[in-house]
């Protein structure tokens, strides 16, 4: 990434910040940052992980029905102070009883943590009273957290620590957890790059909000990835440019080298768009990346 790209990315973030204090908080190292835990509170002693999973699915379904439109946008105003939000606050406390042993397969772990991420992002927007962007609080991804088992997980922890198997953060280049940390027991056995088309950080450049089931995960991730690639990748023949979502720059290591990235795009691009993609590959078009729109993914 060039210095120009880094400065432009920083400007895109900082223009949303509420005030200079929030900018300074974002500069505090993650290990020293105070986390805001959104699901602290008493959990009934007789509640087990299976019961919590059932309740969370019910809340998830209510969110889909009441506050998420067909395009995957969220009606935050409708959620604020409503019954579904109160149920989310109550039910999320049960995450404290979930352990790695409750998530036996990779599909269970990936589906659980993708859903956790997407719900935590929505919960965080509501809890912090954000109106226009998660970057009103630039430390958003490293500050809001859920307690799962005996651990705290921020959005950065979920994405980079668990789902990316403790790969270095794309900006700080540091790992979320030290070697041997208990949180790593939640990691799936492999890093599946399709997660980047399913994680929703409450911003317009994110994929549409969706939730995932372990039993259908592979097909659901394929569908999400096909939608993301087909709608997000552009070919400009006049300028001989292949324009990709910036996710492919941030997480280039996850998608692999040029050959692996091309194969990923080829595999997931809609059939009718593949000829343009192949022409770009054969012509060795220059690759550029879209700017990230941090505006809230709210229902207009």
Segments making up each domain of the chain, as ranges: 13-214, 225-289
> Of all residues in the chain, what percent carry a pLDDT higher than 70?
97
Q: What is the mean pLDDT of the chain?
A: 92
Closest CA to 125 of 115, 136, 116, 114: 136
3-state helix, strand, coil in the chain (%, to 5): 55, 10, 35
Give yes or no for residue 123 having a pLDDT over 90: yes
Give yes or no for residue 3 having a pLDDT over 70: no
β-bridge mates for residue 243, sequence order: 234, 288
β-pair type (286-289, 241-244): parallel
CB 223 within 8 A of CB 217: no
Kindly state the average pLDDT of the residues 164-191: 96
Give yes or no for residue 45 having a pLDDT over 90: no
**Token pair 């990434």 is at which residue?**
1
β-pair type (151-154, 144-148): antiparallel
At residue 151, the 3 state secondary structure works out as strand
């Amino acid at each position: 990434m060039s210095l120009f790209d880094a400065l432009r990315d920083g400007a895109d973030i900082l223009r949303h910040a509420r005030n200079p204090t929030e900018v300074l908080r974002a500069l505090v190292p993650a290990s020293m940052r105070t986390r805001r835990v959104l699901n602290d509170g008493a959990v009934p002693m007789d509640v087990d992980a299976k019961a919590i999973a059932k309740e969370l699915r019910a809340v998830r379904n209510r969110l889909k029905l009441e506050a998420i439109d067909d395009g995957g946008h969220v009606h935050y105003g409708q959620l604020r102070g409503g019954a579904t939000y109160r149920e989310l606050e109550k039910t999320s406390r049960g995450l404290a009883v979930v352990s790695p042993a409750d998530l036996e397969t990779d599909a269970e772990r990936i589906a659980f943590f993708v859903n956790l991420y997407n719900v935590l992002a929505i919960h965080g927007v509501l809890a912090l009273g954000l109106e226009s962007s998660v970057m009103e609080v630039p430390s958003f991804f490293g500050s809001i957290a859920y307690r799962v088992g005996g651990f705290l997980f921020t959005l950065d922890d979920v994405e980079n620590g668990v789902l990316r198997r403790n790969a270095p953060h794309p900006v700080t280049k540091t790992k979320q957890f030290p070697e041997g940390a208990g949180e790593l027991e939640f990691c799936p056995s492999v890093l599946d790059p399709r997660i980047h088309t399913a994680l929703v950080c409450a911003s317009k450049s994110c994929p549409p909000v969706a939730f995932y089931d372990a039993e259908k995960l592979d097909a659901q991730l394929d569908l999400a990835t096909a939608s993301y690639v087909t709608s997000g990748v552009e070919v400009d023949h006049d300028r001989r440019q292949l324009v990709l979502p910036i996710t492919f720059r941030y997480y280039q290591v996850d998608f692999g080298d040029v050959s692996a990235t091309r194969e990923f795009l080829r595999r997931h691009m809609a059939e009718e768009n593949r000829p343009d993609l192949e022409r770009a590959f054969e012509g060795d078009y220059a690759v550029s990346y879209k700017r990230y729109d941090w505006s809230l993914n709210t229902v207009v």
